[in-house]
Amino acid sequence: MHPLAQATTQPLPLPEVDWRAIAPELALAVAGVVLLLVVAFWPRAGRGVLAGLTLAGLAAAAALTVWNWDLERVAFEGAVSLDGITRYARAVLLAVGALATLMVAQGDSREGEPDDSPPEVFPLLLFALLGMVLLAAASDLLVVFIALEILSLSLYVMAGETRRLAAQEAAMKYFLLGAFSSAFLLYGIALCYGATGSTNLLEIADATGDPTADGTLLLAGVGLLAVGFLFKVSAVPFHMWTPDVYQGTPTPVAAFMAAATKVAGFAVFLRVFAGALGGLVVSWRPVIAGAAVLTMLVGAALAVVQTDLKRMLAYSSISHAGYLLVGVAAAATVPAGVSASMFYLLTYAFMVMGAFMVVQYVSRLGPPDDDAIGERSSLEDYRGLARRHPWAAGLLAVFMLALTGIPPLSGFWAKYYVFLAGIEAGLTWLVVVAVISSVISAFFYLRVLVVAYLQEPVGDPGAETAPGRTPALGVALGLAGLLTVAIGLAPEALIAAARSAERILG
Amino acid sequence: MNLGAFAPILAMLVLAAAFAVLSIVVSAFLAPHRPTRAKYSAYESGVEPGRLPQGERYPVKFYLTAMLFVVFDVEVIFLYPWAVVFRQLGVFGLVQMGIFVGLILIAYIYDWKRGGLEWD
């Protein structure tokens, strides 16, 4: 009998579809498709309607996340795992998505203006979130890759959503370098598969303990995986794209990238390196620790010389990726490393979103500059902000102080727990570098406040129009500020929730 | 791991490369060289090659059309393996492929309604 004919007569085992396990992802996918159809059949729909539908989709996904909260299992033959990391990342990502929706919904530029974004940005936001949430839950390297592509492809398009030249350039750079890093990751996956015979993280974890396995091939694969992940979380020496992309991209998208991509990227970083490859920690820890040192110091040092706030925030996000890498380096041997990193991601996401919200607010002040290459985000524009817009300046102060890590704001606790985990893992030298980097970073965060509070405003403040026709940005700013202060005052509950993320299912 | 299993693939690679190089070299030596106008004109219905206007830029529509073609091309390729095991997968396969084709259909409707298929 011909082998093909034989194959077609034998019964096939049908895979079990665990709908409940991926319910939040399905909700995001359905919401994204519905929004796509709304955009197609009703292109004149107001931004309020689209934002409302997006928020409804996010709320549905959040409700399903709560419904699944106590679920701990591996679904789809080990392709998706529901554990602490998954649920914590889901909750943070959906909250970040809601804030990003409010920022995008602001819509204070008229149609045809260079800052006007097309309605497609809402379904794209949902698809990007779908990829991120799936990335945090993926426990098979192929699912990791697919999730990463879903989120990257959505973000490439979102980066160039406005007609500003800088946004187009950012989208192109992000796309070219992102595609390059995806290739590295895929090669790493292929080598890991070659060495262990599986793409499943649980089986790879088993194989790393097997002395007969091909160690060289596996280590080469792990190295390439690290390159792919380090690129996505913008760690030095794979950070070159970050400043250009964050500066050129429309501010809401830059905020979403800075916060959400980091959350999803580090969630998968922890799951793969601290979880599946935990047995190889002796091999990869020096590499990750070295990248952490470079990332913290280069990020902080280059942020000092920036005169553009968006660019400065990009370098600041690089140095924060360095602190998170300390958590990853610690996580393989110390469970507290996992919870500290997850908690850091939670606080960092809201701080950086808030900082970008203030940037968005300030960029719309003053006369429209339709011919400028990028949006208005120079440090000059913040002169005397405290006198012109005291609320915006006050919130800016909250976010900058939180990013510096000054108690009692949330950023302090984030750093505290990560440093504690680092010391517990015996990486005291790394923590010392992190503290030095924190001191350097205080300079550029506080300089923004000096400009906003101590310098005189240029021009006539009375001639400025208060931006915004919708209260969306105001609500988002309020929420981000509230969260940053509230987490700082009472971090215990959220740290306890993060502790439940310490056991990685695989 | 036994790399020997990949030996036939390596042999195939070497053979393919050798055949390509050999063909070009041999034809350069053996083929008679008699150029005519017809031989130098564009192949079949091809466009006469020339410099593109505005610094080699060309309309993004070409790219969109090519992408649409690739999407449907690949969609059909995915339908073939399903057709082979259609009976065994039964309702499960039908539902899964329905979701797959449905999603692409929605993308197609979106493209159509937003004017992605109009040339001008």
pLDDT tens-place string over residues A38-66: 999 998 888 889 999 999 999 999 999 99
pLDDT of A268 reads 94
Rounded to two decimals, what is the model's pTM?
Answer: 0.89
Supply the pLDDT for residue A495.
86
End-to-end Cα separation, chain B, in angstroms: 57
Residue A8 lies in a domain: no
The minimum CA-CA distance between B4 and chain A, rounded to whole Å, is 13
Query: Is the CB of residue B2 less than 8 Å away from at least one CB of chain A?
Result: no
Lookup result for tokens 């893992």: A425
Best B67, B80, B85 residue to mutate vs chain A (most A CBs within 10 Å): B85
**Cβ-Cβ contacts under 8 Å, B89 against chain A:** 12, 14
Task: Tell me what pLDDT residue A151 has.
Answer: 94
> Domain containing A310: what range?
16-499
Q: Which of A11, A39, A41 sits opposite B88 (nearest CB)?
A: A11
- Give a yes or no: residue A6 inside a domain: no
Q: In this predicted structure, what is the pLDDT of residue A32? A: 96
Q: Is residue A3 part of a domain?
A: no
What fold is seen in the domain B55-120? Answer: Methane Monooxygenase Hydroxylase; Chain G, domain 1 (1.20.58)
Q: Please give the pLDDT value at position A389.
A: 87
- Domain count of the fold of chain A: 1
Best residue in A28, A33, A146, A163 to probe B by mutation, most B CBs within 10 Å? Answer: A33
Residue A98 domain flag: yes
> Among the listed ranges A297-311, B56-70, B78-92, which one has the minimum average pLDDT value?
B56-70
Of the partner residues A40, A194, A217, the one whose CB lies closest to the CB of residue B109:
A40
Mean pLDDT over residues B47-76, rounded? 79
> By C-alpha distance, which of A107, A146, A151, A416 is closest to A263?
A151
Q: Where are the domains of chain B?
A: 1-32, 55-120
Judge whether B64 is closer than 8 Å to chain A, CB to CB: no
Buried b (16+ CB within 10 A) or exposed e, A339-356: bbbbbbbbbbbbbbbbbb
Q: Residue A12's pLDDT is what?
A: 77
pLDDT at A199: 92
Q: Which of A43-57, A440-454, B7-21, B29-43 has the lowest mean pLDDT?
A: B29-43
Q: Kindly state whether residue A324 falls inside one of the protein's structural domains.
A: yes
Give residue A292's pLDDT. 95
The residue ranges of chain A whose pLDDT is under 70 are 1-9, 107-112, 211-214, 459-470, 505-506
Judge contact between A276 and A506, C-beta under 8 A.
yes
| CB–CB contact A40 B107 (8 Å) | no
Predicted pLDDT of residue A467: 54
Residues whose CB falls within 8 Å of the CB of residue A199, separated by 6 or more in sequence, listed in order: A140, A141, A142, A189, A192, A193
Closest CA of chain A from B101, distance in Å: 14
Instruction: Identify the closest residue of chain B to A4 by CA–CA distance.
Output: B84
Chain A: nearest CA to B50, how far in angstroms?
27
Residue A364, both tokens: 């719309």
What is the per-residue pLDDT across A454-492, written as a single tens digit (0 to 9) for each?
988 776 655 555 555 568 888 899 999 999 999 988 888
At A375 the pLDDT is: 80
Q: What tokens does A285 get?
A: 């820890």
Q: Please say whether the beta carbons of A363 and A251 come within 8 A.
A: yes
d(C-alpha A448, C-alpha A144), whole Å:
38
Q: Is residue A504 part of a domain?
A: no
* Chain A closest-CA separation from residue B13 CA (Å): 19
**Per-residue confidence (pLDDT) for residue A385, from 0 to 100:** 87
